[in-house]
Amino acid sequence: MKKEKILVITNKDDPHVDGLINLANEQGLGQLIIRLNTEDFFKNCSIEYDTNFGFKLELLDSQKTLYSSEIKTVWYRRPRRVELDTVTNKDIRDFIFEQINPLLTGLYLFCEQSATFMSPIFESKKSSYKVSQLSLAKKMGFCIPHSIITNKYQTVLDFFDKYEKISTKSIDTPNFFYEGITYPMYNRVIKNRDELIKNKNSIELCPTYFQEYIDKQYDIRVIVIGKNVYAFSIDSQSNDFSKEDFRGTAADLMEHKYIELPKELNQLIIKYTTEQKLNFSALDFVLSKNETYYFLENNPNGQWMWLEYATNYPLTQKMLDYLLNPNE
């Protein structure tokens, strides 16, 4: 069988994949893309694994069939937990899930042996941890803000006293769920020592991530696809709601521009993603008032579609080109 198929592993509510498939259809390439919405696996898929030929996947809604030997590239995008709503018995439901989950993981890992992954599963997960990101970035020569993660109250006070202006953010999940309400955990600037004193118990209750505050000109979102770097400035400082975190306001209220980064920084970014075995990544930087580029974090499965909407830069086409020809 000819290896030309693209397996996209995601969910039903993913505009990034919607855009990619729409573009492929416009170019007569839609038949090459197999979209697996993992939440529908139980009711929409039949699967076979045979040691003689590998995997066979059939999708009931699209009537598409895929053999693992046909897969050229895999985009492990944003899968969700398999839905088993029709199974009413909890014990049976749990057992089925415990069988399906390792089978799907086995499919992904089997594909890694012969197909190109946008970002291998375990490498992508490993590279998402803030501590390892910062330590590797510093080791490789990026400028990074001085950062601490601690539950020691005095350490936080000393850190504030050193910089007199610090920021705090979530170590992992960007949202806090409490009593049925979702609270976004955006980057927040702390300018007053009394705020820390008032929150002594909270600091000691849970380790918290603090950074030296960088006075910035603008934010930068960098998209890496293969060995190519695409950078976009975000004029976050023109809006009071986005000054501390550009996610604090609607994207269309901030000017976005495609920009060229210094050659040395581009090379360092590719070195960084290559070290982590990532063929895709979304990295966040800021350009400081003193013209220094600071690495903030890496999002190995981050968002980028809004950048295309804001600038008309063809990121979806770049992604499709890579998935079709990952070795070019």
What domain count does the chain have? 3
Residue 241 has pLDDT above 70, yes or no: no
Domain CATH number, residue 157? 3.30.1490
Same domain, 219 and 207: no
Q: Distance between CA 149 and CA 207 in Å, rounded?
A: 6
Question: Of 298, 31, 300, whose CA–CA distance to 140 is shortest?
Answer: 298
Distances (CA, A) of 8 to 11, 72, 116, 118, 204: 9, 11, 12, 10, 42
Reported as a single tens digit per residue, the pLDDT across 262-319 is: 999 999 999 999 999 999 999 999 999 999 999 999 999 999 999 999 999 999 999 9
Question: Of 45, 50, 18, whose CA–CA distance to 33 is shortest?
Answer: 18
Same domain, 187 and 223: no
User: Does a structural domain hold residue 150?
Assistant: yes
Helix (H) or strand (E) holding 301: none
Q: What number is the average pLDDT over the span 195-223?
A: 95
Q: Where are the beta strands (DSSP E) in the chain?
A: 5-10, 33-37, 45-50, 54-59, 64-67, 71-76, 116-117, 147-150, 166-169, 175-178, 181-184, 188-190, 208-212, 216-225, 228-234, 256-259, 280-288, 293-299
Strand 5-10 and strand 71-76: pairing? parallel
User: Does a structural domain hold residue 127?
Assistant: no
Give the domain range for residue 207.
Answer: 146-212
Same domain, 81 and 105: yes
Same domain, 273 and 198: no
Domain CATH number, residue 283? 3.30.470.20
User: Does a structural domain hold residue 130?
Assistant: no
User: Does a structural domain hold residue 132?
Assistant: no
pLDDT tier at 186, thresholds 50, 70, 90: confident
Same domain, 103 and 79: yes
Same domain, 279 and 175: no
